[in-house]
Copies of this chain bind each other. A is one copy, B any other.
Amino acid sequence: MATKTQTKTPRTERRMDALSKERIVEAAIKILDTDGESALTFRALAARLATGSGAIYWHVADKSELLAAATDEVVARVMTGVVSGAEPREAIRAIALGVFDAIDAHPWAGAQLFREPWRPAMLQILEGIGGRLRALGVPERAQFDAASALVNYVLGVAGQNAANARLVPPGTDRATFLGAVAARWAQLDPSEYSFVRQVATQLREHDDREQFLAGIDLILAGIGTLREDAR
A interface, CB within 8 angstroms of B = 111, 114-118, 123, 126-127, 130-131, 133-134, 143-149, 151-157, 159-160, 162-164, 167, 181, 184-185, 188, 192-196, 198-199, 202, 206, 211, 214-215, 217-226
Contact = CB atoms under 8 A, between A and B. Distances in A.
Given A118-B185, A126-B195, A219 B155 contact: no
13 contacts: A114-B160, A123-B196, A130-B199, A143-B198, A151-B156, A152-B156, A153-B156, A156-B156, A156-B157, A218-B223, A219-B219, A222-B225, A224-B225
Given A114-B159, A206-B144, A196 B130 contact: yes
Q: Is the interface of A mostly helix, strand, loop or mixed?
A: helix
Given A117-B181, A196-B130, A218-B145, A157 B152 contact: yes
Contacts of A143: 195, 198-199
Nearest to A217: B222
Contact of A162 (B114, B153, B167, B215): B114
A212 to B, nearest CB: 8
Given A145-B214, A149-B153, A118 B221 contact: no
Nearest to A188: B123
Contacts of A163: 114-117
Nearest to A152: B156
Nearest to A203: B144
A38 B225 CA distance: 43
Contact of A194 (B131, B148, B167, B222): B131
